[in-house]
Structure 1
């Protein structure tokens, strides 16, 4: 459950302004991105 609490604050938000859609992203820190990649890769095998 720690990974859920750690990643909860990182979200992508789409903002619609007229016909335009803008995406606001809070980028993941490198260490968190690496951990998620390792978890994903482990599940793919």
Structure 2
């Protein structure tokens, strides 16, 4: 195994998890927005 390759993989997975986290945060905020809109419609 090449050390630089390992470093690259590490970096990739880190970036990927960062992206995943951002996506999750975006989704949750979208869900909250949806809930608010839904409540407004129901009331």
Pick the TM interval, shorter chain.
0.3 to 0.5
TM normalised by structure 1 equals 0.37
Q: Which has the larger radius of gyration?
A: 2
- Answer 1 or 2: which has greater helix percent: 2
Q: Return the TM-score normalized by structure 2.
A: 0.39
